[in-house]
Structure 1
C-alpha cells in the first residue's frame, strides 16, 4: 500500500510538472500570437480596435491535484477517470493555465462520442456553456470547428442557456467557425435545428469585416453558400465578392 502511495505521489508530481510546462508554453505562445496579431492588424489597417486579452483567472492559479487531473483525464480521453473525478470536483467551471474550462477542453481536444459524453456529463453538473477561454473562444465554437464534434455542437446549441451569437476576440461566431472549417453539418444545426433556442445572426460580421457568407465564398464552398443564401436568406448587399458567389450558385 505504501509503495502504491509513493507511485501515486510521483505520478501527480509528473502531472504538475507537465501542466507547469504547458502553462509556460501557453504564456509564450499567447505573447507571440499577440505580437503577430498586432503586426498583421497594422498591415490590414483594421479600424476596429482589438479586444483586450482576458487575464488568467485566479482559479487557474489555484488548481488542486484533482482539478489538474480532470483536465489531464479529458485530454487523454480517460472517460472513467473523468466520471470519477467529477464526483469530487466542486467547481466544474475551474480554469486551466490556458483559461479553459473542462467543457472547453473537451470540445477542443476530444472527438466523437467521447466529446459528446463528456459534454453531457458537464452539462448535467450545470457547467457554464457560454464560458470562453483566453482567446474568447467558447466550447460551441470549438465544437463547430470539427465535423467529428458535430454531436457536441448539437447538444450545446440546443441548450437553453447557450448564446449561439457569442464572438471570440476577433469577432468570429460559432457559425463563422463552422463555415471557415467547411463544417456544413454544424451550419445546418445552428441555422435550422428547431430546438436551438437562440436564433443565430446569419449576417454578423467579424472585427475584420467578414460575414459567414464572405468566408464561404472565399472557400468556394457552394454547399454552404446555398445554405446561407437560399435557405437562411443571408444578406448579399455587402458581400465582398458577389460575382464569385453568383458563379458558385450557378454551378449547383
Structure 2
C-alpha cells in the first residue's frame, strides 16, 4: 500500500515504488516523529504527508526507529527524523490523487479480506462449539450476528469492485473514498460481532481474532478514516447536490 500511495512521487523521481514507505507526522505540523507504513529492510526512501501541496521525502537510513505504539506493530512502525533535512516534492496533483485513490481501494480490499477471515473463523467456531447440547450456530442471536456480517461483506465487496472498475476507467476518487469509508466502518462492526460470537477465547493472545481485528483498525486509520471520509463525502454531496457515480441518494418528497 505504501508504494501504491507513493506512485506519483516514484514516477516524478524515477524511483521504484516498492522501495518507498509512506509516513505521516504523529502530531500535525511536527515532522520530527513519524508513523510509517510499509517500512522494511528494502525501503530506500520515506514519503511524508505534509500540510499543503506536496510531500516530504527523506532517505530511510536517516530514520531512528522508536518503539511502535500501533495496534498492528508489524504493519506500522515509528521513527524520529531531523525535519530540517526533509526535501519537499510536489508531484502532479492528478497523479497524486489517482495514487491515493488506488491506495484507498487497496486498503478497502485488505480490510474486506480480514473481515472475511474473521467471519469464517466465527462460522467455524459456532458450528463446532456446543452449548446446552446443540451447536452455537443454532442459536438465533448468533445467527443474526453472522447474517449481519455477511450483509456487510456483500456490500463492501460490491463497492470495492465498483471503485476499482471506475479507477481503471480513470475515475473513482469519490467511489474510492466511499469504499474506504465503508470498509473501516463495516470492518470494525464485523470485528465486534465475531468477537461476540466466539466469546472469551477470542480475547486471548493465542487466538487469531486479534490479528485480523488489529489489521482492520490500523488500516482504517490510514488514507482517511471512515468518519473523516464520511464527513468529506457528505460535504461534497451537499455542495454539489449529487452523489458519486453509482450511488443513489434518497431525496425526501414534498409534505
TM-score normalized with structure 1 length: 0.29
TM-score normalized with structure 2 length: 0.29
Q: Which has the higher strand share?
A: 2
